[in-house]
Structures are given as C-alpha cells and as structure tokens.
A and B are shown apart, each in its own frame.
Chain A
Amino acid sequence: MIYLDANATEPLRPEAREAALAAMAVTGNPSSIHAAGRAARRVLEQAREALAVRFNASPAGVVFTSGGTEANALAIAGLGAGRRLIIGATEHDAVRAAAPGAAILPVDADGLPDLAQLDTMLGDGAVLVCLMLANNETGTLLPIARVAALCRAAGALLHVDAVQAAGRMLVDLAALGAHSIAISGHKMGGLPGAGALLLAPGVEISAVQRGGGQERGRRGGTQALPAIAAMAACGAPPTGLAALRDAIEAAARHAGAEPVGTGAPRLDNTACLVLPGVPAQTQVIALDMAGIAVSAGAACSSGKVARSHVLLAMGLGPRAGEAIRVSLPWNATSADVDGFTAAYRAMAGRLLVA
C-alpha cells in the first residue's frame, strides 16, 4: 500500500515510537508524590519543555490535552467566554462544531481570508478569532501574523489551529503573535491520544474539565504519558516533500486534473486535485482498490464522504464534490509518487472518458 493520507494521520516516526516505549516502561502517575510519580513527572515535564522550545512558547503555557480537537475546544471555551466568535470559512470541524453561531470570515479562491472584512468584523474588539495556520484539505497557509496584528490592534484574541502545520513547518508562537495555538501529536508523527494548547505568555484560560486539577488547573485528567512523550520526541519537519508534491500535481494535471489552491503559499505535503465530473468517493475507492490511500472532503465517522465545506467556501461549487486530497507523509519517497501517478493516470483515463 502507498500511504498518502498524512493529513489524516502521519506514520509513527521512529524517534516517537522509541520515546513512547520508554514512557510506557515508566510506572507512575505524574501527580503522585512518590519516586514513581516523580519519574513520570520528569517524562511529562521534559516533554513540556521540549515542545515549548520547538514552538517558541513557555513551558508554563503548554497545556496537554487528548488531541487537537480538545485543544481547539478548550481554547474556544476558555478564551471565548463573553466574546463574539469569528471563525474562518475553511476551519476544521474541531473548531466549527465548538463555535456554533460564530460569524464566518469568507475566503478567496485560494482559501485566503479577506483581511479587510476581518478588520470590519472585529468592531469593538470583544472578539475571539479562530483561524487555522494550514488547511487540512488544501494545505493553504493563512497569513496569521497579519491577522494577529489586526486582532491585537483591535483588542481581539486570536486562537490558531496549527494542527496540520505543527509537524510540517517551523511554527513559532511568539512570531505568529497568536494568543494560543492547538497542536496534535499524531499529525506530527507521534501517537493519537495527545495534543496541546500552547498559550502565549500572560494568556490564561479556565478549565472545561476540572478533574484533579492537572495542567495547573487548566485541564483535569491524568496525562497520556506515552503519547505526550512521542509528540515531544518528533523530529524536525521533513524536507523535500514540495518537489514530490509538485511532481504529483504535474502528473495529475497531465491526466486531466485541476489542482486547487496553487495560488497561495501552502504546506509542502498537500495537493488537492479535482478530476472534473468524477465523484470524489469514486476516486477514493478506485485508488484504494489500486493500493493507494488518499482521502476526500471531511470523512464522517460513518465513512461517508461529504462534500467539502472547505472547497465550497473557496467557490468550487459542484467541483467541491470531485476533489481528492493527497497528503505526503514525512517518509514519502519518489517511488510512492511514481506509484500514485501511475494509478491516478489509469483511473483518470478510465473515468474521464466514461
């Protein structure tokens, strides 16, 4: 099988696996006061410090959660109280579902937000803005630093869903200027089950689940030590994926596809390919049968492929139901690309004439 669905979950990195195994060997609850507890706590705090360094945050601002969805929900509940919500039109369901009734900031054909409109929408500034750093379906990178400047000038708070960006590019909380960012371990090459909300200095939140007061009272519940250690151990973002992605887009274009969102800065690993007239679910099934794992739209837990709200927001209309996402994992090779392009060409040749 050729696995090209990294934006759903990355293959486990060897260094993350090693760290997880080491953490599994540690018996102890980080909240316990005995030696075993202290040993667990050491693993936890080392992970916290490593992540703080990696994302240029302070260790005190790292709040471990069960993953990206919880980190986003915690930010929205914790920072959004008493504020209006504005979210981008292409946000992930993790944000959309946590922000019912939020005002929607539209995007252009490349998935970039309308900053002039944002400025108007900020109004009196009693607002929490939620925007993603990199889009999960197209890889589009949003101009977060400029958004942060607008928000700070208006007195608004900015939370950034950095789940897709965290393992794939350098992410610097201070340089972004956001008040908080959400990350997820398994999208970086770690294990599912751990993520974090990183708070900028001086930003405080109240807990959603209080429990035993872990994470300085900001997120109750015993920390998932192996998954946290794995997340913190993940190495630097991969290099060389942009060339592979470009090769995929060139081959797909040659086969009759239209790559989406190529006019904006993007993650190196993500391509979104429209094959006109061919339902996305047919493409995903056909490629799966050829041994290629890709995805389309936002998969519901039912497995149903729903029409992509991201692509609809970018104005693709009916084409929004005809796009697949190819997302290269950290260990993708040119052989993977060759396998994909051969299968894609065969599929397009068969389905485009029909």
Chain B
Amino acid sequence: MRVLVAMSGGVDSSVVAGLLAEAGHDVIGVTLQLYDHGAATGRKGACCAGQDIHDARRVADRLGIAHYVIDAEARFRDAVIADFADSYAAGETPVPCVRCNQSVKFTDLVRLAADLGCERLATGHYVRRIDGAGGPELHRAVDPARDQSWFLFATTSAQLAACLFPLGGMPDKATVRAEAARLGLAVADKPDSQDICFVPTGSYADIVGKLRPEALTPGEIVTADGAVVGRHDGIARYTVGQAKRLGDATQTAGVRRVVIGLDPAGRRVVVGPAEGGRSEVRLREVNWLVSPAELACTVKLRAREAPHPARVVPTPEGALVHLATPALAAPGQACVFYDGDRVIGGGFIEKIAA
C-alpha cells in the first residue's frame, strides 16, 4: 500500500520508513518544517532548515523513496508555539508535543496522506495500534521506557484508523538502532532529541517572554491564606509541584513548600506544604477512544509517572476524575485514562476554581 511517513530526521522515523520500504510498500517521506531553525538557535544567517531535515533527506535518498519538506511554520506557530505561551501566561504548564500531535501531525498530515492517495500515515511514535472488535485501539508501547501513549491521547478514533506505528512493538531502543544500522542508515547512532524541539537552547522562558511578556513580570510568592513570603520573576517560570526558584519561601518552620497554584491575574505564585495534592481533577477538551461513560480505570497526570487508580465521570465540559489517593495535578498538563495498556481517553487538566 501507499504510506506517507512522517520523517523527523531522527533514528525512529527513519527506521519506520526503512522497514515499510523494505516490506515493499510505496513509501513517501515528508518532513515538517516547523520553525525557522536559524532563528531558534540564534544563529544569524543560518538556514531556516536544521540538520534534521538534511538527515531525513539523506535517509530517503538512501532508501530510494520520494521525500518532501512540508512548510508547517505558520500552523505550528499558531497551534503550538502561541498556545505554549498563552498557557504559561494563564498560569498553566503546557504540553506542546500533544498540541503538535493534535494539529500539525495527526490532523494536517492525515489530511495530506489522504490528499496524496496514501492509505496510511506512519510515524515513529512508540505506541501500538491494535485493531479490536470495536475498531482500532491505542495501546502503550511494548517498551515501557519508550512508551509515548500519554502524548497521543488526543488522537481521535478516525485519525487512529489512518495511522501506523511500526515501532510500538519494538522491545527496546537498541533494537531500533540495530535496525537502522542493518538498513544502512547514517542516523543509527544519532542522539535522541531533547525536550521541546522549538526551544533548542533550553530557555523556554525567552519564547514565552517574547509572545506574552506579562508571564515574565515579577510578582509575589504567597501562601494559600494570602501571606506574602517572597518574590518571583514571572509565573511562567513555575509549575505546580515545583520546589525550585522559591528562595526564602522554600520552607517555613522546617516544612518544605512547593508551588501549589499560579494566579495569573494577580501575578502570584501560591506555595504550600509539599504533601497533599488533590483527589478531584477537572478536565477539558477530553478525547474519548471508547464511548464516554463513567468508568474505573487508571490515569496518568504527567508523562513519566506510575498510573493512579481513579474513577472518571464524563461532564458537559469534559470530565471529572476522582483519584483514589490525592496527587499533584498541574493545570495544562494531560490526564490520560488507561485500561491496562490501552488508552481509553484523556483531557487537559483545568485549574482549581479559586
């Protein structure tokens, strides 16, 4: 069949393209130009395309497949980078990778695949698509260390039906690298990409400050009952659960404090005892991969943590999650519902009503 492969220039998606081509499929590689790489790295006059695009083209050449670079800069700026800054300015902690998957990858590329007569879009994500009685299901990757299912919770059933994830069944990354070497791909030893792709220098606050300067305006650090216990240099530098950057407010009378809330209107960082968390979490923009219904499941409130037992109740706005034991929930992050290894839905964590 004809398959569109989203090639980032990294080892994972290169192996996907290689395996599908080897299996005899009609493979078309595309690489998204998401942002001006020269500008992002602050190198004046540098090409807008990074090394990754060059790598993807060389892999496609090696595999003998067609390859195209897709200009997604405007879409990425609006759907991912602007949302990233807005979220921080609203006192939340965004997950740009979910936004990117939701928009640029699994909306726009699925559409492009259909426009080009491709039966499937394949990506290098570590998740499994398993076709069950009720249609395609999204499952955790075999390798728990690589599992990316949390980042793909917003993929709709229709999008899932158009996708292939050939790496979900790989036992580990070493196997993927060995496949890359076997296929003769120069990216076999390329290091894994880091964190947020459009912040290659690691200073996300610079980007937030450029788009939403108010998120970097200094303000007060307060306790839940309003006592001022310190100063901060912008709410965008804080996330719920954080213990760093609190200065003198780090502890009081031997009790360690962490960030328990962010108040964008008052430009305040709210701190409290490290223990605690909450047992009720409200979600918005919920995506269901089963029929919405009250159900018992496990949930993950951040990308890397053990699942919590919970009960999920659909609401008109999204869903209400009752956690069996209280946990930290950072507004803006995702809360993903699992039935064993299967992703059955998820949404974005709402702020606690003041």
Q: Hey, which chain A residues are within 8 Å of B324, CB to CB?
A: none
**The one of A282, A302, A306, A354 that contacts B53, using a Cβ cutoff of 8 Å:** A302
Q: Are A300 and B115 neighbours in the complex by a CB distance under 8 Å?
A: no
Number of B residues with CB within 8 Å of any CB on chain A? 18
**The one of A289, A301, A350 that contacts B49, using a Cβ cutoff of 8 Å:** A301
B26 closest partner in A (C-beta)? A289
Q: Are A285 and B68 neighbours in the complex by a CB distance under 8 Å?
A: yes
Q: Given known contacts A286-B115, A302-B53, is B68 in contact with A281 (CB within 8 Å)?
A: yes
Q: Hey, which chain B residues are within 8 Å of A302, CB to CB?
A: 33, 47-49, 53, 69
Q: Given known contacts A303-B69, A306-B71, is B49 in contact with A285 (CB within 8 Å)?
A: no
**1/0 contact string of A295-310 vs chain B (CB within 8 Å):** 0000011111111000
Query: In whole Å, how far is B74's beta carbon from the nearest beta carbon of chain A?
Result: 8
B33 closest partner in A (C-beta)? A304
Q: Are B66 and A289 neighbours in the complex by a CB distance under 8 Å?
A: yes
In the complex, what distance in Å separates the CA atom of A301 from the CA atom of B38? 13
**1/0 contact string of A102-120 vs chain B (CB within 8 Å):** 0000000000000000000
In the complex, what distance in Å separates the CA atom of A286 from the CA atom of B67? 12
Q: Are A354 and B115 neighbours in the complex by a CB distance under 8 Å?
A: yes
- Report if A288 contacts B (CB, 8 A): yes
Query: In whole Å, how far is A319's beta carbon from the nearest beta carbon of chain B?
Result: 15
**1/0 contact string of A269-307 vs chain B (CB within 8 Å):** 000000000100110111011000000000011111111
Q: Are A281 and B70 neighbours in the complex by a CB distance under 8 Å?
A: yes
Q: Are B112 and A282 neighbours in the complex by a CB distance under 8 Å?
A: yes
In the complex, what distance in Å separates the CA atom of A278 from the CA atom of B111? 12
Q: Are A286 and B48 neighbours in the complex by a CB distance under 8 Å?
A: no
**1/0 contact string of A245-289 vs chain B (CB within 8 Å):** 000000000000000000000000000000000100110111011
Q: Which of B27-69 contact A (CB under 8 A)?
A: 28, 33, 47-49, 53, 57, 66-69
Query: In whole Å, how far is A100's beta carbon from the nearest beta carbon of chain B?
Result: 12
Q: Are B68 and A303 neighbours in the complex by a CB distance under 8 Å?
A: yes
Q: Are A304 and B71 neighbours in the complex by a CB distance under 8 Å?
A: yes
- Report if B196 contacts A (CB, 8 A): no
- Report if A174 contacts B (CB, 8 A): no
Query: In whole Å, how far is B263's beta carbon from the nearest beta carbon of chain A?
Result: 40
In the complex, what distance in Å separates the CA atom of A288 from the CA atom of B117? 13
Q: Which of A320-354 contact B (CB under 8 A)?
A: 350-351, 354
In the complex, what distance in Å separates the CA atom of A203 from the CA atom of B237? 61
Q: Given known contacts A281-B70, A281-B71, A288-B66, is B49 in contact with A304 (CB within 8 Å)?
A: yes
A282 closest partner in B (C-beta)? B115
Q: Are B115 and A351 neighbours in the complex by a CB distance under 8 Å?
A: yes
Q: Hey, which chain B residues are within 8 Å of A351, CB to CB?
A: 115
- Report if B290 contacts A (CB, 8 A): no
Q: Are B116 and A289 neighbours in the complex by a CB distance under 8 Å?
A: yes
- Report if B229 contacts A (CB, 8 A): no
Q: Are B48 and A289 neighbours in the complex by a CB distance under 8 Å?
A: no
Q: Which of B97-132 contact A (CB under 8 A)?
A: 112, 114-117
In the complex, what distance in Å separates the CA atom of A126 from the CA atom of B162? 62
**The one of B47, B68, B71, B114 that contacts A301, using a Cβ cutoff of 8 Å:** B47
In the complex, what distance in Å separates the CA atom of A307 from the CA atom of B73? 11
In the complex, what distance in Å separates the CA atom of A351 from the CA atom of B68? 19
**The one of A300, A307, A354 that contacts B48, using a Cβ cutoff of 8 Å:** A300
Q: Are B66 and A304 neighbours in the complex by a CB distance under 8 Å?
A: no
Most buried by B among A300, A302, A351: A302
In the complex, what distance in Å separates the CA atom of A34 from the CA atom of B114? 65
B115 closest partner in A (C-beta)? A282
Query: In whole Å, how far is B48's beta carbon from the nearest beta carbon of chain A?
Result: 6
Q: Hey, which chain A residues are within 8 Å of B70, CB to CB?
A: 281, 304
In the complex, what distance in Å separates the CA atom of A304 from the CA atom of B73? 10
Query: In whole Å, how far is B310's beta carbon from the nearest beta carbon of chain A?
Result: 41
Q: Are A289 and B28 neighbours in the complex by a CB distance under 8 Å?
A: yes
Q: Given known contacts A289-B28, A289-B66, is B48 in contact with A304 (CB within 8 Å)?
A: yes
In the complex, what distance in Å separates the CA atom of A302 from the CA atom of B55? 11
Q: Hey, which chain A residues are within 8 Å of B66, CB to CB?
A: 285, 288-289
In the complex, what distance in Å separates the CA atom of A350 from the CA atom of B115? 8
Q: Which of B244-274 contact A (CB under 8 A)?
A: none
In the complex, what distance in Å separates the CA atom of A350 from the CA atom of B116? 9
Q: Hey, which chain A residues are within 8 Å of B49, CB to CB?
A: 300-304
In the complex, what distance in Å separates the CA atom of A285 from the CA atom of B69? 10
Most buried by A among B28, B57, B115, B117: B115
B50 closest partner in A (C-beta)? A302
A299 closest partner in B (C-beta)? B69
In the complex, what distance in Å separates the CA atom of A17 from the CA atom of B216? 63
**The one of A288, A289, A305 that contacts B71, using a Cβ cutoff of 8 Å:** A305
Q: Hey, which chain B residues are within 8 Å of A284, CB to CB?
A: 68
A288 closest partner in B (C-beta)? B66
In the complex, what distance in Å separates the CA atom of A351 from the CA atom of B117? 10
A354 closest partner in B (C-beta)? B115
Q: Hey, which chain B residues are within 8 Å of A288, CB to CB?
A: 66, 68
In the complex, what distance in Å separates the CA atom of A304 from the CA atom of B115? 18
Q: Hey, which chain A residues are within 8 Å of B47, CB to CB?
A: 300-302
Query: In whole Å, how far is B65's beta carbon from the nearest beta carbon of chain A?
Result: 11
In the complex, what distance in Å separates the CA atom of A285 from the CA atom of B67? 9
Query: In whole Å, how far is A94's beta carbon from the nearest beta carbon of chain B?
Result: 17
Q: Hey, which chain B residues are within 8 Å of A301, CB to CB?
A: 47, 49
Q: 26 A–B contact pairs at CB < 8 A?
A: A281-B68, A282-B112, A282-B115, A282-B116, A285-B66, A285-B68, A286-B116, A288-B66, A288-B68, A289-B66, A289-B117, A301-B47, A302-B48, A302-B49, A302-B53, A302-B69, A303-B49, A303-B57, A303-B68, A304-B33, A304-B48, A304-B71, A307-B71, A350-B115, A350-B117, A354-B115
Chain A residues with a Cβ under 8 A of chain B: 278, 281-282, 284-286, 288-289, 300-307, 350-351, 354
Top 8 closest pairs, chain A to chain B, by CB = A302-B49, A303-B69, A304-B69, A304-B33, A304-B71, A282-B115, A285-B68, A302-B69
A304-B48, A305-B69 known; 6 new pairs, CB 8 Å cut-off, are: A289-B117, A301-B49, A303-B57, A303-B69, A304-B49, A307-B71
